[in-house]
Amino acid sequence: MEERTGSVTFKGNPITLLGPALKVGDRAPDFRVVDTSLAPLALVDFAGKIKIFSTVPSLDTPVCDTETRRFNQEAAGLPDSVVVLTVSLDLPFAQKRWCGAAGIDRVQTLSDYQDRSFGLSYGVLIKELKLLSRSIFVVDAQDTIRYIQHVPEVTTEPDYGAVLTAVKGLL
């Protein structure tokens, strides 16, 4: 398993990411996650769509809460050809509860708790914490990665404008 240290910090401390260092232009790796009803999902389930994958440590933390709410708002202005998917290691039941309480209706939450398949395939599993780092992947309708943002400090928000610019460039 590839380990990468030094590119991301958590509360100022360097952390180790497990998995490959994907690049723009790479084919998006397949994965296995579950939705809030425990139904398994993979990359093929979003075929033909532009995908925004937002990985977060936990929806029950302030920054992850803010980020997911912001992407839910932004999704309202995007066409149906774009899906916004937030992936975390939160249990599906916790994700469903959080989405209901937060009024999230445009972002789909996916849980990577069973296999850590997404985290390991996309290189965002934090070795020390066993959580996902804060990262964004924009994947086109042909499953090619077109934009990647690894937020350098996990406890800060991503650059939403850069993400939306990347998506709008694919429309």
First to last CA, the chain: 35
Q: Identify the residue whose tokens are 């972002």.
A: 107
Cα–Cα distance, 28 to 154 (Å, whole number) = 22
Q: Is 64 among the catalytic positions?
A: yes
Q: Which of 55, 44, 25 is nearest to 145 (CA)?
A: 25
Half-sphere exposure of residue 81, counting CA atoms within 13 Å on the CB side?
Answer: 10
Q: Among 64, 120, 126, 163, which one carries the catalytic annotation?
A: 64
Q: Find all residues with CB under 8 Å of 49, minimum gap 6, and list them.
A: 81, 82, 83, 141
Q: Which residues of 58-94 are buried (b: 16+ CB within 10 A; e: fewer)?
A: bbebebbbebbeebbebbeebeeebbbbbbbbbebeb
Catalytic residue annotation: 64
